[in-house]
Amino acid sequence: SQKIEQNSEALNIQEGKTATLTCNYTNYSPAYLQWYRQDPGRGPVFLLLIRENEKEKRKERLKVTFDTTLKQSLFHITASQPADSATYLCAPTGRRALTFGSGTRLQVQP
């Protein structure tokens, strides 16, 4: 069955450093992969979408890579800020509705 793995342990980093979050998937070949941010008690908010024929996508301080051979996406936040603290969800998109990973909680210390 399809499986999405994100590091369940929280990632703690210092302000100003680059945060790197990992999303691995197995048993399917998504055409797209999306990343969402979720704050406590709120619904997820879309951040970036990357297609299978794109190796990298950037938006302001965010960068996403998509390696279809490794079945992995990396999500980077450069010059991180305490306001970036949240849970980040990846969603490899196949032939059905979005399926989400369990998310990785990022904590940026001032």
Partner 1 sequence: GAGVSQTPSNKVTEKGKYVELRCDPISGHTALYWYRQSLGQGPEFLIYFQGTGAADDSGLPNDRFFAVRPEGSVSTLKIQRTERGDSAVYLCASSLSTGGGALNTGELFFGEGSRLTVL
Beta carbons within 8 Å of 8's beta carbon, 6+ residues apart: 102, 104
* Stretch touching partner 1 by CB under 8 A, among 26-34, 59-67, 68-76, 77-85: 26-34
Pick from 44, 66, 92, 106 the residue near partner 1 by CB under 8 A. Answer: 44
Task: Give the shortest CB-61-to-partner 1 separation in angstroms.
Answer: 19
Nearer to partner 1, 15 or 39 (CB): 39
What strands lie across the sheet with 72-77, from one edge to the other? 3-6, 19-26, 72-77, 62-67, 56-59
Nearer to partner 1, 46 or 79 (CB): 46
99 near partner 1, rule: CB under 8 A: yes
Pick from 12, 16, 29, 45 the residue near partner 1 by CB under 8 A. Answer: 45
Pick from 16, 29, 31, 107 the residue near partner 1 by CB under 8 A. Answer: 31
Pick from 3, 17, 42, 59 the residue near partner 1 by CB under 8 A. Answer: 42
3 near partner 1, rule: CB under 8 A: no
